[in-house]
Amino acid sequence: MTAISAHTASSPTAVDPAALHTPVIAWFDSNARDLPWRRPEAGAWGVMVSEFMLQQTPVNRVLPVYEQWLSRWPRPADLAAEAPGEAVRAWGRLGYPRRALRLHGAAQAITERHGGDVPREHAQLLSLPGIGEYTAAAVASFAYGQRHAVLDTNVRRVFARAVAGVQYPPNATTAAERKLARSLLPEDAPTAARWAASSMELGALICTAKNEGCVRCPIADRCAWRLAGKPAYEGPARRGQTYAGTDRQVRGKLLAVLREAVAPVPQVVLDAVWDEPVQRTRALDGLVADGLVEPMENGVYRLPQSRA
DNA sequence: AATCCGTGGCC
DNA sequence: TGGCCAAGGAT
Closest nucleotide over all strands to A238 (CA to C1'): C4
Domain that holds residue A94: 36-144
Is A153 within the bounds of a domain? no
Domain boundary among A144, A176, A198: A144
Check if residue A100 sits with its Cβ under 7 angstroms from strand C: no
Is A238 within the bounds of a domain? no
**How many domains in chain A?**
2
Is A138 within the bounds of a domain? yes
Closest nucleotide over all strands to A54 (CA to C1'): C7
Q: Which of residues 238-297 of A touch strand B (CB under 7 A)?
A: 239, 241, 243, 246-249, 251-253, 255-256, 286, 292
User: Tens of pLDDT along chain A (308 residues)?
Assistant: 223 233 333 444 567 888 999 999 999 999 999 999 999 999 999 999 999 999 999 999 999 999 999 999 999 999 999 999 999 999 999 999 999 999 999 999 999 999 999 999 999 999 999 999 999 999 999 999 999 999 999 999 999 999 999 999 999 999 999 999 999 999 999 999 999 999 999 999 999 999 999 999 999 999 999 999 999 988 777 767 788 889 999 999 999 999 999 999 999 999 999 999 999 999 999 999 999 999 999 999 999 997 65
Q: How far apart are CA A12 and CA A16, in angstroms?
A: 9
Is A216 within the bounds of a domain? no
CA-closest candidate to residue A250, choices A223, A226, A267, A270: A270
Kindly report the CATH number assigned to the domain that includes residue A69: 1.10.340.30
Domain boundary among A79, A109, A144: A144
Domain boundary among A144, A179, A207: A144
What is the number of alpha carbons within 13 Å of residue A77 lying toward its C-beta?
A: 7
A51 assigned to active site: yes
